[in-house]
Structure 1
C-alpha cells in the first residue's frame, strides 16, 4: 500500500475514533412536574380489572362494539394520526441515513479532442462515489434521536386518537339510547294526556265538568304531543350523528339499532388500585408530551453542535477506458478525499439564533408537558368524583321515581272516580315525568362517567403496545412506541 493511501486511511481512522469518543452537548435540564402522591377523589369499588384496549367490547351491547369499529375505520382523526405516524417513520429513516456514508454509481462517456495536437479520442468510465459527513460533535446523532422520540410520540398519539374515537362514538350511542328511553316515557305521558283530554271532553259535554277544565285538559294534551314531537326529533338527530361517525347507511343503521331500542348500555366497571404517577404512564397523550420534550432537548443539542466545525470525507473508484485511434488504454482510477474541515466564522448570528429558538421550543415543550400531567390527574379525579356522585344519587332517584309514579297512579284513579281535580292530576303527572326523566339522565350520566374514566386512564394503552394489535381497524402496522 502506498504512503498517500496509508496516510488517508490513518486520517479516516483517527476521525472515526474521534466520532466515537465525542458526545453531543448536554441537554438542558427541566424541573420535574409535581404529581400528587395519591388520589383525592373516592375510588370505585367492586370493579373488575380487564384489558381496556377494547373496553367497549365489555359493554352488554354488541351493537356498540360494531359501531365503534365502523367509526374507527372511517375516522379522519385516526387517518390523520396514521399519516403523522408514517411521516415520522420517514423522518426517522432520513435522520438515521444522514449518519452513514452515501454511495452513488456513476457512468460517463465522451468523444472529442481537447486541443489541436491530441488526436480524436473516446473516453468512458464507470464507478462508485462516496461521501460522508463525520458526526464528530453529535449533530447527526441528536437529529436521529429527535426523530426517534417524535416517532414514538406519533405512535402513542395514534392510540390516543383511537381511544378518542371510541369514546366519542360510545357517548353518541349512549345519548341515542337515553333519548329513546326518554321517548318511551314521553310517548306514554302524551297518550295519558290525550286519554285524559278525551274523557274530560266527554264529561264536559255531558255537563259534569266545566268548560275551563276541558280547555285545560286539551292544553295538556297538546303540550304532551309537542314534547313527543320534540323528543322524536332529538332522537332522529342522534341517529344522524351516528351515521356521520360510522358512515353506515341510515336505513341499515336504524335496522341495526332497532333491537336494543331505549336500552341504556352498561359497561364493565373499572378498579383503580394505582397512584396518579402510575396511571399517568398509561396515557398516550402524556407519553407523547414526554417524547416531544425529549425531542426538543435533542434539537437543542443538534443546534449547538452545528455551531462547531464540520468534517466531510469523499472518495471514488472507477474503471476507465480511453480509445485513441487503434490504441486502447484501460485501468482503475481511485481517490480518497478530499477531507474537508468547515469552521463557522461569521453567519450574522444565524447559528446562535437557531440555538436560542431550539431552547425556546424546549421551554415550551417542558411547560406543555407539566400542564399535560396536571390535566391528566384532573380528568381522572373529575371522572371519579362524577362516578361517586352518580352512585350516591342513584338510590334517591330510584325511590323518587317509584314514589311519584305511585302518587300519579293513585291521583289518576281518584280523578277517574271524581275525587281529584284535573289540577291535582296534572301536578302529579309533572312530578312523575320529571322524576323518571331524572332517573334516565342519571343512568346516562353514570355510564358517561365510566366512559370518561376509561379515556382518562389512557384507554388500556401501555408503553410497548404494538400499534397493529391495539385495534383491528385500518391502522398502521409499525410496532411499539
Structure 2
C-alpha cells in the first residue's frame, strides 16, 4: 500500500471541515473619542516625547533616571515577563514541527541451554508529527507571539512609569529645598524682629506684650523651617531608596545648584487615536485581545479530527554463536486520524471558557483606552489650570513681598504696629510658598502628560529599542 493513498484522502477529509473553524476578531473598535475636550498645550506643536527630558537642562536628572531604571523591581519583573513570553513562543512554535528522538539499547540474553548466548545492539531514530490541519497549534503560537509583543510593550510602560516617578520625586525635593530657603529666610526675619523688639522693650519703647508676640512669631518661624527641613530629609531618603544610590553620593550630587524649569514642551496630536498609539499599556491590552482570539480559535479547532504521522529508522547488530548479523529497519506510519466522539463536554467547556476570556480581554482593552483618554484629559486640564494661575500667583507673591518690605520699614520707623508687620509677614510667606507649590504642580502636570502620552514609545520602534536596551 502506498503512503500517498492514505495521506491524500485523509488530508482532504479533514481540510474540507477547516472552514468551520472561525475565531472571534483579533482587532476590535477601541471606541475612543474623535477629539480632546481639553485644550492642547501651546496648540500641540512643541517638542516630541523621545527627547523630552533634555528640556530640563538639569544634568543630574538623567543620572537619577538611569539609576532608578537599573534598581527598579517593576522593570525587573517586566523583563522577566518578556523572557517567559519568549520561551512560551518558542515552545508553541515547536508544536508545529515534527519531533525526533534518538534511542540506543543493548540486550544480552539466552533462551535456554544449549542455545548460545546472544547479544543485540540497537540504535535508531523515532519521529512524530501532528499535522496542524485546523490551525490549533498555529493559533497557540500566534497567541504566544501576541503576548510576547505585549510583554515588550509592558516593559516600556514600566520604564516610563519609573521615569515619571523619579522625576516627580526629584522635583518634589527641589521644591522642598526652595520652600526651605523661603522658610529659613522668614525665620531669620522673624528672629531679627524679635531681637529689635526686645531691645525696644528694654529701652521702654515697646510693651512686654509686643515683645512676647515677636518672640512667639520667631518661634513659629523656626518651627516651620525645622518642619520643612524634615520634609526635605524624607524626600532625600525616598530618592535614595528609589535610585539605590549611596545617600552620601546622592547628597553630594544634590548639592549642585539647580532650579525648577519654568515650562516644558510636549507634542500632543489633536486626535486621541494618534496619542493612544503611543501608549504601551494600550498596545499591551490590544495584544491581549489578539492572544485571546487565537486561543479561542485553538479551542474551537479541538472539536475537529486530529491527523498525526509517525515513523522510525533503526539499525540492529545481533551476535550469537560467533555469528554477527547486521539488520536495519524503517517504517513510515501509522497515519492516524483521531475523531473526537465523546468527552463529557470538556471541549465545549474549553470553548466557552476561551470565549469568556476573549470577552473579558475586549472589555479590559476598551477600559484601558478610556483610562488613557481620561489621563491625558486630566493632565491637559491641570496644565491649563496651572498656566492660568501662574501669573496671578507670581503677581500676588511680588505684591505681598513689596507690601511686607514697606510695612517692615514703617515698623522700624515707628509708623506701623507689630501686629500689622506680622500680618503682612504671614501673607507674604503664604504667597511665596503657594508660588513654589504651583511651580511643582505645573511640573507634575507636564510629567503626567508625558506619562499619559506614552513617554515616546511607539509600536514600530519597540522591538528594536528592547533589543538595544533591554531583554
Question: Retained in 1: the 8 A contact 2:14–2:305?
Answer: no
Check if 1:281 corresponds to 2:273: no
Q: How does the TM-score come out when normalised to structure 2?
A: 0.95
Q: Indicate how the Cα distance of structure 1 residues 141 and 468 shifts in structure 2: closer, same or farther if over 3 A, else same.
A: closer
Q: Which of 138, 142, 164 is the aligned partner of 1:141?
A: 138
| Unmatched runs of 5 consecutive residues or more in structure 1 | 477-481
8 Å CA contact retained: 1:47, 1:268:
no
Instruction: Measure the CA separation in 1 of the matches of 2:132 and 2:427.
Output: 78
Shift of 1:355: 1.1
Q: Which runs of 5+ in 2 are unaligned?
A: none
TM-superposed deviation, 1:442 = 1.1
The answer on whether the counterparts of 2:10 and 2:337 sit within 8 Å (CA) in structure 1 is no
Equivalent residues of 1:53, 1:470 under 8 A apart: no
1:11 equivalent in structure 2? 6
Match of 2:33 in 1: 36
Out of 80, 83, 90, the position equivalent to 2:80 is 83
| SS state at 2:304 partner | coil
Please say which of residues 85-94 and 105-114 is displaced more in the overlay: 105-114
| 1:319 counterpart residue number | 315
* Equivalence for 2:431: 435
Alignment of 1:320-335 (within 5 A): 320-335=316-331
Distance 2:264 2:467 in 1: 19
Match of 2:96 in 1: 99
Pairwise CA distance, 1:469: 2.9
- The aligned residue for residue 306 of structure 2 is 310
Structure-2 change in CA distance of 1:102 and 1:193 (3 Å): same
CA shift digits 1:69-89 (9 cap, x unpaired): 010011100000000001000
Tell me if the contact between 1:64 and 1:170 (Cα under 8 Å) persists in the aligned partners.
Answer: yes
Report how many residues are paired. 469
Q: Do the aligned partners of residues 439 and 123 (structure 1) sit closer, same or farther apart at CA in structure 2, a change above 3 Å counting?
A: same
Which residue does the alignment assign to 1:293?
289
Q: Distance in 1 between matches of 2:353 and 2:113?
A: 60
Deviation larger for 404-413 or 9-18: 9-18
Q: Is the 8 A contact 2:153 2:462 kept in 1?
A: no
2: distance between equivalents of 1:277 and 1:284?
Answer: 13
Per-residue deviation, 1:36: 1.1
Q: State how far apart, in whole Å, the 2-side matches of 1:296 and 1:266 are.
A: 46
- What does residue 366 of structure 1 align with? 362
Report the Cα distance in structure 2 between the residues aligned to 1:258 and 1:19, rounded to whole angstroms: 74
SS at match of 1:82: helix
Q: 2:127 aligns with which of 124, 127, 130?
A: 130
Query: Is residue 401 of structure 2 the alignment partner of residue 392 of structure 1?
Result: no
Aligned-residue RMSD, C-alpha: 2.0
Q: Which moved more, 1:264-273 or 1:78-87?
A: 264-273
Quick check: 2:129–2:308 contact (8 Å CA) kept in 1?
A: yes
Equivalent pair of 1:24/1:301 in contact (CA under 8 Å): no
Normalising to structure 1: TM-score of the pair? 0.93
The 10-residue stretch of structure 1 (184-193 or 323-332) with the greater mean CA deviation from structure 2: 323-332
Distance 1:393 1:304, change over 3 A: same
Question: Equivalent residue for 2:191?
Answer: 194
Q: Is contact 1:394-1:442 (8 Å) kept?
A: yes
Q: Is the 8 A contact 1:24 1:302 kept in 2?
A: no
Is 2:71 the partner of 1:71?
Answer: no
The answer for the alignment partner of 2:182 in structure 1 is: 185
